[in-house]
Amino acid sequence: MRFFVRGKTLQAWTELISRLSHYHKRMQHSGFQHELSDRCDPALISILRLQTPAQKLAVLDAMWRSARTLVAAGVRAQHPNWSEANLAQEVAARMSRGAVGRA
């Protein structure tokens, strides 16, 4: 069974995160300092560096699902009489920044 996230397989996302991780390590060794690194908690940075690409992807997925749940709750509060299909379509529109049609 293949899982797809935003049109890509889970393996494709894992490979992308792995490539980005290797790129980040090369940039660190070259002395490059990311503009946000001085504003991030050092403990958080060290935790993220210890995570595997699959763990980072799992966190991203959990964050996406949480955001979708919050957006759905907001739409449901604004439109209590809408059907589940209309709610799902509006949530998709908001999460995609309008790339998906609205209800």
Along the 103 residues of the chain, how does pLDDT read in single tens digits? 454 555 667 777 677 777 777 666 666 666 656 565 667 777 877 888 888 888 888 888 999 999 999 999 999 999 999 999 999 999 999 998 877 777 5
> How do 4-5 and 8-9 pair as beta strands?
antiparallel
Domain assignment of residue 66, yes or no: yes
Query: What six digits make up the tokens of 45?
Result: 């940075």
Q: What are phi and psi of 13, to 5 degrees?
A: -65, -40
Q: For residue 32, what pLDDT is reported?
A: 57
Domain assignment of residue 103, yes or no: no
Domain assignment of residue 77, yes or no: yes
Q: Structure pTM?
A: 0.57
Query: What six digits make up the tokens of 69?
Result: 């749940």
Domain assignment of residue 39, yes or no: no
Which residue segment(s) compose the domain that 65 sits in?
Answer: 4-31+52-95
Overall domain count for the chain: 1
On the CB side of 62, CA atoms within 13 Å amount to 6
Domain assignment of residue 10, yes or no: yes
